[in-house]
Amino acid sequence: MAGNRAPTIYDVARRAGVAASTVSRAFSRPGRVAAGTADRIRAAATELGYRTNPVARATATGRTSMIALIVTDVTDPATAELLRGAQEAAGAAGFTTVVSDAQDDGVPQREALERALSTVDGAVVAAPHAPDTALRSLVAQRPAVLLDRMLDGLPSVVPDIADGMRRLMAHLAELGHEMVTYVAGPADAWADGMRRRGLRQAGCEYGVQSRRIGPFPATIAGGMTAAGELLRRPTTAVIAYDDLIAIGLIRALTARGILVPQEVSVVGFGNVAASALITPGLTTVASPLRAMGALGVHNLLGLLDGSGSAATDALPVRLVVRGSTAHRRRNPASAGRGSLIVSGAGSYLPVATL
Amino acid sequence: MAGNRAPTIYDVARRAGVAASTVSRAFSRPGRVAAGTADRIRAAATELGYRTNPVARATATGRTSMIALIVTDVTDPATAELLRGAQEAAGAAGFTTVVSDAQDDGVPQREALERALSTVDGAVVAAPHAPDTALRSLVAQRPAVLLDRMLDGLPSVVPDIADGMRRLMAHLAELGHEMVTYVAGPADAWADGMRRRGLRQAGCEYGVQSRRIGPFPATIAGGMTAAGELLRRPTTAVIAYDDLIAIGLIRALTARGILVPQEVSVVGFGNVAASALITPGLTTVASPLRAMGALGVHNLLGLLDGSGSAATDALPVRLVVRGSTAHRRRNPASAGRGSLIVSGAGSYLPVATL
DNA sequence: GTGAAAGCGCTAACAG
DNA sequence: CTGTTAGCGCTTTCAC
């Protein structure tokens, strides 16, 4: 067991016969040093097994080359995808990523967050449901870019929800649907507001009527609850706030013997993995999550080195058509079963009324 | 825009009328400083808005209070759950987590990994399919704990697979199954070896025969491929390497008109979210992922401060029974359809042969 | 219990 | 292009 501390630039300098600062330059800004010298230094370095010490570099420069990825739920598949994109971009740019899962706003998490923030140069934040104030206090500490959400004039990267809604409407209109129900997500969610606005516009554009129920929690359970309310006044098509609600809806409808998509078409937002696995597959709007994550760190890095605009980018979405949408049926009998009567109020699915 | 650099211990020291070293002590080892002085210091600190600078502390101590969470796929739901557990435990212990997604072993990722490793005190590694050599070179650099996998004598935290297999067998035996097919995962996967061994033992124990097909990639596609091979010589029960393969199997079987669970019972390992969402729900073995992640960092931290044993812990699993398993049918006709004849080879499901 | 002083390993002017 | 010289902010002996 030799007491081998890790080699430093001084060790390399001695071995290469140059000054420590030259070694430093050779690594931190190649080109500022003569080719021959650089070679000698590199050689000495590899012989010694020298590796630059990021921590020491950080004390000297005040920049750690780390960025925080602050999320509210690593477990959420969409978040994971954002993370991956962010990770890749950060890695490619020579940045290390610190992940902070803020979850519930418990005190310990808060400390962890503070700790994380105080070591990084900036942050990319994917916290769809976090309170505005939390975000604001966060961006006060470090440059930050928001993901999948806008707030004030803060730089952010979002999916083009309006466009997604338009595509959805176009799809449903083409299938003959004349009236859709929007099953709203959390009332305070930025995305919900965007969906509502997009819904209104797209509805106009395609001559499709719409009404809204909710808000509901953005979970499968939420969707199942929503099914009950939906059936009090059914429509042939339903746009859910997100995939989880859509999945919950499909489950609850199916459980009641209502056929999806024969009797009701259901669409979601997100394109989570599960939407391809359920039966029927869920027609949904896919956000370019990976790209959003990557662009988020790209923009953040731009902010950090001053080359950046603090703008908001909206990335194009994609409509993924699966089995949960179908042409509006004029003859519900052919659907096989007709168990559409619900509750004493005795409403029917419009398509079933004839 | 005042040129306000962040306050340092010197600022606090001046304001509190003490030496900088005292301020340092007050924060790094409370108790080594008189109560009154400590109060004065704390007061000055909060007035100034002082926050300890982790980077500077790290240069001085050589320890960053950061640990790396090295994973091969943040997007994998199991990995995400491990991450969360690890994150929580790390945060609670005052450690910040650096996440490094090693994915494919591309060069850029490798550099990113090196960079990450060189800043942390240790690492928790969730890389089920990474080559042994990669892991070994990794643990050579920093203390590390493996998750969901064993290698040599390296410290690790794993689920008790043998026990999971036993529970599975008990369940299937109770349902009357006398013969199961094990659909193997990647041949080099540690978990696959464990499953095979567990299978043999548990088979003995419960008097259930078993055979093995594979290896198959641990994906839905892999499971769908496996279905073909399974049907060349069907059994009434199938144990899949993991949930994804199980889901693929169920899809392919269902697509061929074979009823799960009426004709074939299918079980998996993992209890991923999708296993609750598909129809029928998947009976599966759930690993305590969150706890494993947490225990992983706990053990790592023990290693770091010397208080720890470099042992391997096997955590208890849980059998989650859903709809994909059922009693072995003696009368296949009652299953509704009987499309069990497959391929020209003309084999039948044993249960269908009578 | 507290202060003084010497680093940690690197970068950043500033001269040559 | 390269060497010299100061630090970065904190911890840590070693005295007092």
Test B112 with A96 for CB contact under 8 angstroms: yes
Touching check for A274 and chain B: CB below 8 Å?
Answer: yes
Touching check for B347 and chain A: CB below 8 Å?
Answer: no
Q: What is the rounded CA–CA span in Å between residue A248 and residue A238? A: 12
Predicted pLDDT of residue B102: 80
Q: What is the rounded CA–CA span in Å between residue A139 and residue A154? A: 9
Q: Are B248 and B275 within 8 A, CB to CB? A: no
End-to-end CA distance of chain A: 88
Predicted pLDDT of residue A350: 33
Predicted pLDDT of residue B73: 87
pLDDT band of A225, cuts 50, 70, 90:
very high
Predicted pLDDT of residue B104: 65
Specify which residue's alpha carbon is closest to the C1' of nucleotide D2.
A22
Nearest chain A alpha carbon to B221: A277
Contacts of B74 in chain A (CB under 8 A): 74, 80, 83-84, 87
Specify which residue's alpha carbon is closest to the C1' of nucleotide C3.
B19
SS3 content of chain A, % helix, strand, coil (to 5): 45, 15, 40
Look up residue A347 and give its DSSP letter: B
pLDDT in tens, A95-128: 999 999 887 655 667 888 888 999 999 999 998 7
Nearest to A99 among B99, B278, B279 (CB): B99
Q: Are A281 and A326 within 8 A, CB to CB? A: no
Q: Are B201 and B162 within 8 A, CB to CB? A: yes
- B195 CA → C8 C1’, Å: 49
Task: Count the Cβ atoms, other than its own, within 10 Å of residue B175.
Answer: 17
Closest of A182, A260, A239, A170 to residue A207, by C-alpha: A170
Predicted pLDDT of residue B277: 84
Is the previous residue joined to A261 through a cis bond, with omega within 30 degrees of 0? Answer: yes
Nearest chain B alpha carbon to A117: B96
Cα R_g (chain B), whole angstroms: 27
Q: What percent of chain A has pLDDT over 70?
A: 91
Test A83 with B74 for CB contact under 8 angstroms: yes
Predicted pLDDT of residue B329: 82
Specify which residue's alpha carbon is closest to the C1' of nucleotide D3.
A19
- B15 CA → C1 C1’, Å: 19
Comparing B78 with A57, the larger pLDDT belongs to A57
Across A178-198, b (16+ Cβ under 10 Å) vs e yields: bbbbbbbbbeebbbbebbbeb
Phi/psi class of residue A53: alpha, beta or left (left: φ > 0; alpha: ψ in -120 to 50)? Answer: beta
Q: What is the rounded CA–CA span in Å between residue A106 and residue A281? A: 37
Test B277 with A279 for CB contact under 8 angstroms: no
Q: Coil, strand or helix: which one is A108? A: helix
Predicted pLDDT of residue A104: 65
Touching check for B97 and chain A: CB below 8 Å?
Answer: yes
What is the average pLDDT score of chain A?
88
Q: Residue A349 above 70 pLDDT?
A: no
State the count of interchain CB pairs (< 8 A) between A and B. Answer: 131
Predicted pLDDT of residue B3: 54
- A4 CA → D3 C1’, Å: 28
Predicted pLDDT of residue A98: 94
| Distance of residue B244 Cα from the nearest chain A Cα, in angstroms | 10
Residue A336 in tokens: 């096989």
Predicted pLDDT of residue B283: 98
Strand-pair category, A96-101 with A122-126: unpaired
Task: Count the Cβ atoms, other than its own, within 10 Å of residue B84.
Answer: 19
Predicted pLDDT of residue B292: 97
Contacts of B270 in chain A (CB under 8 A): none
pLDDT band of A1, cuts 50, 70, 90:
very low
Q: What is the rounded CA–CA span in Å between residue B12 and residue B8? A: 7
Q: What is the average pLDDT across A279-292?
A: 95
| Distance of residue A313 Cα from the nearest chain B Cα, in angstroms | 24
Highest mean pLDDT out of A70-84, A236-250, A327-341: A236-250
Distances (CA, A) of B109 to A95, A120, B127, B242, B287: 11, 20, 14, 27, 29
Predicted pLDDT of residue B332: 47
pLDDT in tens, B231-252: 999 999 999 999 999 999 999 9
Nearest chain B alpha carbon to A221: B277
Residue with tokens 């097994």: A49
Q: What percent of chain A has pLDDT over 90?
A: 72
Q: What is the pLDDT along chain B (354 residues), one digit of tens a residue?
A: 445 788 999 999 999 999 999 999 999 988 889 999 999 999 999 999 999 999 999 999 999 999 999 998 888 888 999 999 999 999 999 999 999 988 765 566 788 888 899 999 999 999 877 888 888 888 888 999 999 999 988 999 999 999 999 999 999 999 999 999 999 999 988 999 999 999 999 999 999 999 999 899 999 999 999 999 999 999 999 999 999 999 999 999 999 999 999 999 999 999 988 898 888 999 999 999 999 999 999 999 999 988 887 889 999 999 999 999 999 986 544 444 433 333 323 333 332 222
Q: Residue A290 above 90 pLDDT?
A: yes
Touching check for B279 and chain A: CB below 8 Å?
Answer: yes
Predicted pLDDT of residue A106: 57
Q: Residue A141 above 80 pLDDT?
A: yes
pLDDT in tens, B281-332: 999 999 999 999 999 999 999 999 888 878 899 999 999 999 999 999 865 4
B310 burial via Cβ count (<10 Å: 0-12, 13-18, 19+): middle
Predicted pLDDT of residue A77: 82
Q: Residue A326 above 80 pLDDT?
A: yes
Q: Are B335 and B127 within 8 A, CB to CB? A: no
Touching check for B246 and chain A: CB below 8 Å?
Answer: no
Contacts of A98 in chain B (CB under 8 A): 66, 96-99
Look up residue B7 and give its DSSP letter: P
Q: What is the rounded CA–CA span in Å between residue B320 and residue B282? A: 8
Test B66 with A98 for CB contact under 8 angstroms: yes
**Sheet of B122-126: strands edge to edge?**
A312-315, A156-159, A144-147, A122-126, A66-71, A96-101, B96-101, B66-71, B122-126, B144-147, B156-159, B312-315
Touching check for A273 and chain B: CB below 8 Å?
Answer: yes
Helices B220-232, B243-255: crossing angle, 10 deg rounding: 60
